[in-house]
Amino acid sequence: MKPLLNVDSALAKILADIKTLEAETVSLPDSYNRVLAEDIISPIDLPPFDNSAMDGYAIRCEDSAAASRANPVSLSVIMDIMAGSAPAGQLEAGTAARIMTGAPIPKGATAVIPVEDTDDNWSKGNDSPLPARVSLFRSLAMGENIRLAGENIGAGDTIMTAGTVVGAAEIGMIAGIGLPRVEVIRQPKVVILSSGDELVDIYDELTPGKIRDTNGYTLAGLIRGAGGLPIRLPIAKDSLESIRDLYRRALEINPDLLISTAGVSVGAADLVKVVMDELGEIDFWRINMRPGKPLAYGTICGIPFFGLPGNPVSTMVTFEVLARPALAKIAGRDFNQRTVKATIADDMRGDGRRTYARVKLQREPGRLVARSTGIQSSGALMSMVLADGLAIIPEEQTFMPAGSEVDVLPLRSIE
């Protein structure tokens, strides 16, 4: 029998085949969690003008040189500058301008003194009459409480590069430089294919011998979390006619990726491989990993295809190890799998294949500790609910005692 394909070789083959999708233009609000297809270059300075970081008074800092609470300095107030206004005058020696946060700094001003360091009292409201004079209770340094034009970014600066995933802060920055639309990588359409006489949807009655199609819903969540657009089709029966029809409907959607669950092992009813042979090419279908040995990868009518195993844990583990990086590359996202080192608190066993054990992670002084979630059956989906990561037991290693250090592929952020 042909040796099982190494996980790393399988992933390298998959990523070599996968191509990133083309770009599309979307409105700025719709760019959230999308991947930039272009560098974002600011056409303006931000802030676009010198402005106040405080509610207070704009002054010439030299006028405050001798100021203290014991010996306040009194200045003549000649302007009232609100946010959104454009001051026309200029401060001369011995003068001040009342100013609001974000308002432009008037000519001649070199600092802003907070209102609490003066004898003014704005508790009566910012629309209170402008005082004739204001007393300063402390001295200020040059530029204190002034946000300079271009302090955040300058005109011509590259503020984001292609490949950046757009979050709330990125949207805010892009809005700040006045770009209403951006170029992003198109979201991949991923069709989920489920088949099996034993499967029923969550809306159907659970009769004897039937089970819910958990994999279809699990994959939809995983795909959405990876930046794809999941499309679930009705469950096909275990017949060539039904599975052919399912794949025909899937291809009519013009997807960017096809993912099926079950039907790729060695059972008499495992018909997906037959349809794959009819419509495309299978590059490989057995991987040296546990759980998840019966995994098929190839193309159907030129579209990348993953035939994941049917057991719920196997489906999720093979998605994380092989399908997620592929989907990330299609979507233009970072697809490097980053592992962390952890010390196992329990003895762990493998069977000679690369084993991915479900673990909970906890930070302890000087180390990260991995504890088994308990039962490691490939049908125990609860073990994935409890898991923070997958502890990797290398090939040919059948036993790792408690206290050993392992690589862990995180499934969620580690506190």
Q: Is residue 2 part of a domain?
A: no
Does a structural domain hold residue 374?
A: yes
* Residue 3: pLDDT band with limits 50, 70, 90: confident
Residue 228 has pLDDT above 50, yes or no: yes
pLDDT of residue 123: 59
Q: Are residues 260 and 247 in the same domain?
A: yes
The pLDDT of residue 272 is: 78
Question: How many Cβ atoms from other residues are within 10 Å of residue 149's Cβ?
Answer: 17
Question: Across the chain, which distance is largest between two alpha carbons, in Å?
Answer: 95
Q: Tell whether 63 and 123 lie within a shared domain.
A: yes
CB-based contacts of 306, cutoff 8 Å, min separation 6: 257, 258, 259, 260, 295, 296, 297, 318, 319, 322, 323, 326
Q: Which whole number is the average pLDDT over 182-197?
A: 95
pLDDT at 180: 98
Q: Are 349 and 322 within one domain? A: no
How many domains in the chain?
4
Ranges 235-239, 334-338, 390-394, most confident: 390-394
Structural domain contains residue 131: yes
Of 342, 337, 339, 380, the closest CA to residue 360 belongs to 342
Distance CA 347, CA 151 (A): 55
Look up the CATH number of the domain holding residue 31: 3.90.105.10
Residues 176 and 31 in one domain: yes
Residue 324 has pLDDT above 60, yes or no: yes
- 361/392 same-domain check: yes
Q: What's the pLDDT band for 263 if we cut at 50, 70, 90?
A: low
Predicted local distance difference test score (pLDDT) of residue 268: 44
Domain membership of residue 1 (yes or no) is: no
- Residue bearing the bigger pLDDT, 238 or 215: 215
Strand 303-308 and strand 257-261: pairing? parallel
Per-residue pLDDT tens digits for 92-112: 999 999 999 999 999 999 999
Domain end marker among 169, 185, 201: 185
Instruction: Express each pLDDT in 16-63 by its tens digit.
Output: 999 999 999 999 999 999 999 999 999 999 999 999 999 999 999 999
Q: Which two tokens stand for residue 281?
A: 């090419």
Residue 415 lies in a domain: no
Q: Looking at the structure, do residues 177 and 132 belong to the same domain, yes or no?
A: no
Domain end call among 185, 203, 238: 185
In this structure, is residue 335 part of a structural domain?
A: no
Q: Which distant-in-sequence residues (6+ apart) come within 8 Å of 366 by Cβ?
A: none
* Residue 142: closest CA among 63, 68, 61: 61
pLDDT value of residue 1: 60
CATH code where residue 388 lies: 2.40.340.10
d(CA 28, CA 180): 5
Least confident of 159-163, 400-404, 410-414: 410-414
Beta strands 367-372; 340-344: pairing state: parallel
- Same domain flag for 116 and 143: yes
178 and 34 belong to one structural domain = yes
CA of 374: how far to CAs of 250, 348, 382, in Å?
38, 11, 10
In a domain, 42, yes or no: yes
194 and 291 in a common domain: yes
Over 60: is that where the pLDDT of 279 sits?
yes
Boundaries of domain holding 380? 340-410
- Residue 31 and residue 179 share a domain: yes
* Domain termination residue (choose one: 87, 119, 147): 147
Q: What is the pLDDT of residue 265?
A: 60
Cα–Cα distance between 165 and 34 in angstroms, integer? 6
User: Per-residue pLDDT for 126 more than 80?
Assistant: no
Asked whether residue 13 is assigned to any structural domain, the reply reads yes
Mean pLDDT, rounded, for 220-229: 95
Which residues, listed in sequence order, are joined to residue 193 by a DSSP beta bridge? 260
Q: Where does 302-339 show beta strands of DSSP type E?
A: 303-308
Residue 337 binned pLDDT confidence (cut-offs 50, 70, 90): confident
Quote the pLDDT of residue 271.
78
Mean pLDDT, all residues of the chain: 93
CATH (domain of 133): 2.170.190.11
Q: What are phi and psi of 225, to 5 degrees?
A: -65, -25
User: What integer is the mean pLDDT of 302-322?
Assistant: 95
**Distance in angstroms (rounded) separating the CA atoms of residues 366 and 261:** 41
Q: What is the rounded CA–CA span in Å between residue 59 and residue 71? A: 17
What does the pLDDT read at residue 65?
Answer: 94
Same domain, 106 and 165: no
Residue 294: per-residue pLDDT = 86
The token pair that represents 220 in the structure block: 């939809």
* Confidence band for 415, pLDDT divided at 50, 70 and 90: low
In this structure, the answer to whether residues 87 and 224 fall within a common structural domain is no
Tell me the whole-structure pTM to 2 decimals: 0.85
